Structure 1
Amino acid sequence: MLSKRNKRFKRAVKPLTAVLLMSMVLAACGGGGNNQSSDASPSGTASSQTGTSSGASGLKPYEIKLLWEGSAQKDTAAIEAKINEYLQPKINATVKITSLDFGQYDEKMPLLIASREPMDVVFTAQWNGYANNVSKGAFLAVDDPNGPAGNLLEQYGQDIISSLDPTFLEGSQINGHTYGIPTNKELAAQGGVFYRSDIADKLGLTEQLNNVKTIADLEPILKTVKEKEGSAFTPLFLTGEENFNSHYMAQLDYLGDNAIDGLIRKDGDSTKVISRFEDPGYMSNLDLTHQFFQEGLINKDAPTTSLGVTDALKKGNVFMVVASMIPGYDKETANALDMVGKIKMLNIGPITSSTSETAGSMLAISSTSKDPARAMMLINLLHSDKYLNNLINFGIEGEHYVKVSDNVIKAGPKASDYSPGVAWELGSQFLNYTYESEDPDKWNEMKKFNAEAHKSPALGFIFDVEPVKSEAAVLINISKQYAAALNTGAIDPSKAQEWYDKEKKNGLDKIIAEKQKQLDAFIASKKISR
């Protein structure tokens, strides 16, 4: 389950090819939503029933193509068969599951969108191009009665409406419409690290770790790991997206896609939009990370690796990774990686809530879907049907997991053949079983965690890139030349000035002005609505 629940553990960038690919994608996708499907009702009927076998009456068979971000699983076909056996009496549909690895998702998704690949339900998030993809017409508005798909949420998503905190739906809208259904999960984030507690105990580092307050405090601990465990062991594994300048660590609210400069602080009250290069915390983290890199504490392939943080930990030769923390996440992660008792988490920094959380994990309906209504029926069931939700997340009872009690499970004999670890992507986590090694009160603890968060002044706002999409496309490409290498410490922080200068020459001021204009209007509208 160690993936990336708001921005979790992903995206490796290969700069040169990524720049060329994005250029082609933006050119191919610039036509907005003109190719959206116009068949809003399920094939064969306009019935809106999804919860009983009568809901399938008159519906023609349909295969729902579901795409999520995560590692391929050996027993996916067996899970599909079980899902389909259950789904057919309900909505006369089958499901075809496809997954893209964490290191490949952001590279391959733009190509699938540009080629108009037939898809139905697609994972998306604010941090992986949600707003940009909406502007390209990749996803359908699911709550627009005048749109090509009609108000799918109202017709086929009543369980979503009744169970999901309204903050989620409000915080994921673009121009007043919903293009992705958020996962029902945490509404906040806290920066921190996972570390190998068994290694820490062996090296006598546990007390030191318990006293860590800042990123800088990690340095002597990582140096000890390097000295005692040798060159075959990586003290700190970073990727281009999971590093000390990830939004949950640096407390940066980019108001949309992180690749488009212009932000406010999540942990403050100012609504002035600034460049990342004007934020002292961001610049300080560049210096510190570069120092760690030069000291040999970070994996040398950090800017380019396609290995997700999940898989890096699972390999067994990594001591520490950066992560966004929530209550009980260390035990959840240890279960997913079959490393119970070997992983602990260390919180660093405040608990904050921003649109990165409300829109940090969503299921969208592709504009290439041939049956958007059936796609919405599936999403609705993932938010309401406990059996289906746990089947798709944990596999088959008696094989991939064994029940300890009604809501508590332990690993089954075939757990290693199906453990996708993407419950944070699929429906409602409040339907999820908990493992016996986890706190059975985990979901109540999550509610407390949400309540303690400092809310970003821009909570609920997502930048509409359309007025500056040409400038944004250029800045995205420039970002791919520098971001991964700088944020993982692989190149000298002085290169940040070169990056900043290129942005300034290619429309940064215009983008910041547009972000400020939209944010001011959003805040004003909230005051009026009160």
Structure 2
Amino acid sequence: MLRKSKTGKMYFSLLAVVLMLSVVLAGCGGNDNKKADPSPSASASPSASAESSPSASAEPSQSAAADLPEVTLSITFPGTAPKDEQKIEEAVNAYLKDKINAKIDINMIDWGQWDNKINLAIAGREKMDILFTAAWNGHSNNVAKQAFLAINDPKGPKGNLLEQYGKGILETLPPAYLEGAKIGQFNYGVPANKELAEQGGVIYRTDIADELGLTAQLDAVKTIADLEPILAVVKEKKPELIPLYMKDGENFNAHYFAKYDHLGDGSIEGVIMKTGSETTVKPRYDFPIYKETLNITRDFFKKGYINRDAATAQLSPQDAFKAGNVFMGVFPLKPGKDAEVANAAGLQGKLKQIPMTDRTTSTGETAGSMLGITTTSPNPERAMMFINLLHTDKELNNLMNFGIEGDHYTRSGDIITPTAGTPNYAIGAAWMLGNQFLNYVWNNEAPDKWEQFKAFNEGAINSKALGFTFNAESVKTQVATMSNIRKEFDPGLDTGSVDPAKADDLLKKLKANGLDDVIAEKQKQLDAFLATK
């Protein structure tokens, strides 16, 4: 069991596409740099989301809650379990008693073990209630495996859960997220209300950079190659440090850095480029950036800049910073990402981010962080009530994300300050848990953080496939086989741990196991989608 031992076919309706694009394009400049106001997050700004209170109409009254039988819900998401997890569970359970009469079992799984454990749990039909899912983390593939309930299917086993128990979500979440995250006619997860654009880059230790006189060089970094002389100095002058931390999925070949649009599911081969104008679906290996990235990463690895265990590393870059022996890591960026990581790693004021790619928007970003309700959940109605509260109830949202006021932080208005207890519940999971526009802001973050999020979305380059999600149902056997093949090859290749020539072996093996079938099906569905635009 995952619980801790304390421990259709793809059809896109024109209406859905028009609605999705009208909202997204209002806030994200297309390839022609056209802009409009407001951004898609405008309706989710603090004034619209955090300060309004739809939760009163979106949750049972106290008397109604008392009539509900008490249940325990599991919520499973990636990350390192904190010391005070049980203390937070007790506080959340006390708060939920009069809200939805439910208790919460928080189940965090280390990033390095996440894929294997979740895949086994889904295959074994283990009972789970709320499960993190994302386009880059096999969402479409898992929907094809019937792992998640369609939350807005009126003919589903529990009816339209979103309409019945998620009214607050519908009131606060910009329509672009739900429209962009659909597979066929339905949603199989509730997207987090967060930034819509994405950008790749690195985060580094400013105290080490200042000590070694590297700050000016770091300020001038534009490309991966620009990092080489900086990492060389760190390796020479600070041999006890890992100059550049990488792991599977967090490297220069990650979708947010290389700009691959996987068309709805990052685990399924076949992409177009988010920054390009071509809509011909190809394997990543057919784009020059793929092998160029492998080659420079391999060079860094051979020079000792990258951690030797990168292909098998279990820690996320954020958690790796906690150990104190990492100089730099690869991250998806947004306004204040460096401060978020610093707070989670106990390095307040010592981290800075360097944007290194264009800002882009694809369907993968609308579905880049979701909470789904599994088909094995004994209590899907109550699970939706809880997710609804994460999107509408400021007190619960911040309790789940930051812990207990006076223990894990002190607060003045919406500004919070770390305490000695902060490391005991520093989960860094706000981007996964509901509505970020309800979040308090750390004292080392910009007070106008949420306004910066809106500005971040403006002017982003839209993928030509924005609004499209591939339905893997017709090729699910090939997809499952190829997913296992990629797990065999990708970690070593993407982290520089093996010779880039091995990519040729990977491509041959994928072709022998249905790659052409999957590419053809993706192209067919994408062409049908584009024909409606």
Same fold at TM > 0.5: yes
Give the counterpart letter for 1:261 in structure 2: E
What is residue 297 of structure 1 aligned with on the other side?
A: 305
> What SS does the corresponding residue of 1:350 show, helix, strand or coil?
coil
Query: Which of these residues, 473, 497, 508, is aligned with residue 504 of structure 2?
Result: 497
What is residue 116 of structure 1 aligned with on the other side?
A: 125
Query: Which of these residues, 306, 314, 330, is aligned with residue 306 of structure 1?
Result: 314
What is residue 520 of structure 1 aligned with on the other side?
A: 527
Partners of 1:55 and 1:278 lie apart in 2 by 58
Q: TM-score, normalised by structure 1?
A: 0.88
What is residue 155 of structure 1 aligned with on the other side?
A: 164
What is residue 228 of structure 2 aligned with on the other side?
A: 219
What is residue 507 of structure 1 aligned with on the other side?
A: 514
What is residue 331 of structure 1 aligned with on the other side?
A: 339
What is residue 359 of structure 2 aligned with on the other side?
A: 351
What is residue 389 of structure 1 aligned with on the other side?
A: 397
Deviation at 1:411, TM superposition (A): 1.0
What is residue 38 of structure 1 aligned with on the other side?
A: none
Give the counterpart letter for 2:280 in structure 1: K
> What SS does the corresponding residue of 2:97 show, helix, strand or coil?
helix
Deviation at 1:217, TM superposition (A): 0.6
Partners of 2:422 and 2:393 lie apart in 1 by 22
Give the counterpart letter for 1:495 in structure 2: K
What is residue 282 of structure 2 aligned with on the other side?
A: 274
> What SS does the corresponding residue of 2:355 show, helix, strand or coil?
strand
Deviation at 1:447, TM superposition (A): 0.6
Residue pair 2:269, 2:519 contacting (<8 A) in 1 also: yes
What is residue 432 of structure 1 aligned with on the other side?
A: 439
What is residue 411 of structure 1 aligned with on the other side?
A: 418
Partners of 2:269 and 2:155 lie apart in 1 by 33
Partners of 1:188 and 1:444 lie apart in 2 by 14
Point out 4+ residue stretches in structure 1 off by more than 3 angstroms: none
Partners of 1:140 and 1:58 lie apart in 2 by 25
Q: Does 1:228 align with 2:224?
A: no
Listed as ranges, the gaps of 5+ residues in structure 2 are 1-56
Report Cα offsets for 1:454-480 as digits up to 9, x if no partner: 111112222111111111122112111
Residue pair 1:410, 1:435 contacting (<8 A) in 2 also: yes
What is residue 50 of structure 1 aligned with on the other side?
A: 59
Partners of 1:297 and 1:412 lie apart in 2 by 34
Partners of 2:383 and 2:250 lie apart in 1 by 31
Q: Does 1:175 align with 2:184?
A: yes
Residue pair 2:127, 2:376 contacting (<8 A) in 1 also: yes
Deviation at 1:180, TM superposition (A): 0.4
What is residue 203 of structure 2 aligned with on the other side?
A: 194
Give aligned pairs, total: 477
Give the counterpart letter for 1:398 in structure 2: G
Partners of 2:427 and 2:80 lie apart in 1 by 6
Residue pair 1:141, 1:149 contacting (<8 A) in 2 also: no
Residue pair 2:93, 2:103 contacting (<8 A) in 1 also: yes
Give the counterpart letter for 1:187 in structure 2: L
> What SS does the corresponding residue of 2:208 show, helix, strand or coil?
helix
Report Cα offsets for 1:415-454 as digits up to 9, x if no partner: 1211111011100000000011110100010011112211
What is residue 387 of structure 2 aligned with on the other side?
A: 379
Give the counterpart letter for 1:440 in structure 2: P
Deviation at 1:73, TM superposition (A): 1.2
Q: TM-score, normalised by structure 2?
A: 0.88
RMSD: 1.2
Deviation at 1:119, TM superposition (A): 1.2
Q: Does 1:255 align with 2:255?
A: no
Deviation at 1:369, TM superposition (A): 1.1
Partners of 1:186 and 1:376 lie apart in 2 by 22
What is residue 24 of structure 2 aligned with on the other side?
A: none
What is residue 409 of structure 2 aligned with on the other side?
A: 401
What is residue 477 of structure 1 aligned with on the other side?
A: 484
Residue pair 2:58, 2:167 contacting (<8 A) in 1 also: no
Deviation at 1:57, TM superposition (A): 4.1
Q: Does 1:447 align with 2:454?
A: yes
Deviation at 1:149, TM superposition (A): 2.1
Query: Which of these residues, 139, 149, 158, is aligned with residue 130 of structure 1?
Result: 139
Partners of 2:329 and 2:66 lie apart in 1 by 50
Give the counterpart letter for 2:378 in structure 1: K
Residue pair 1:54, 1:90 contacting (<8 A) in 2 also: no
Partners of 2:509 and 2:135 lie apart in 1 by 24
Deviation at 1:49, TM superposition (A): 5.7
Deviation at 1:51, TM superposition (A): 5.0
> What SS does the corresponding residue of 2:371 show, helix, strand or coil?
strand
Identity %: 53
What is residue 249 of structure 2 aligned with on the other side?
A: 241
Q: Does 1:75 align with 2:87?
A: no
1:75-94 equivalences in 2 (<5 Å)? 75-94=84-103
